[in-house]
Structure 1
């Protein structure tokens, strides 16, 4: 299945654009997605942390993805 991934903050810089499309196996998990992204974009692994949001909610690693999900990569943020 092909999923569109939205990127924010430094993730946008790592991907080189605000969104990318990735191909994953049917019934792939959030952990599968992270592994795929970290292989394709090794700089992503170097972040202190990042979250995956699916349909506007933070996702656990064992969450199953579908082709219709809205998926976003949320990098660490700081503020003051």
Structure 2
């Protein structure tokens, strides 16, 4: 599994992350923020297998990729 980071998040998440699945989105965020406390200070989105997920109860079984993305705007 690959964890992609973008923008300022790349500076914060600067090491390999070990995660055990299944877990829901809320558990993933808690785990990441325990390992990288500065994430708590940022707004960021999480994409699982290239799909943005916002439902905290969304169950992540065995992801191929996880992306942590800062806020962005379209145009």
Could you say which residue in structure 1 is the equivalent of 2:62?
Answer: 67
Structure 2 unmatched runs, 5+: none
Structure 1 unmatched runs, 5+: none
Distance in 1 of aligned mates of 2:41 and 2:35: 13
* Misfit runs of 4+, over 3 Å: none
Could you say which residue in structure 2 is the equivalent of 1:51?
Answer: 45
Distance in 1 of aligned mates of 2:18 and 2:60: 12
TM-score using structure 2 length = 0.79
Q: CA RMSD in A?
A: 2.2
Could you say which residue in structure 2 is the equivalent of 1:21?
Answer: 17
Deviations 1:14-49 (A, max 9, x none): 0125xx33222x3201111100000110000001x1
Q: Give 2:3's match in structure 1, choosing from 2, 5, 15.
A: 5
Q: How many residues align?
A: 74
Distance in 1 of aligned mates of 2:65 and 2:10: 16
Distance in 2 of aligned mates of 1:78 and 1:6: 19
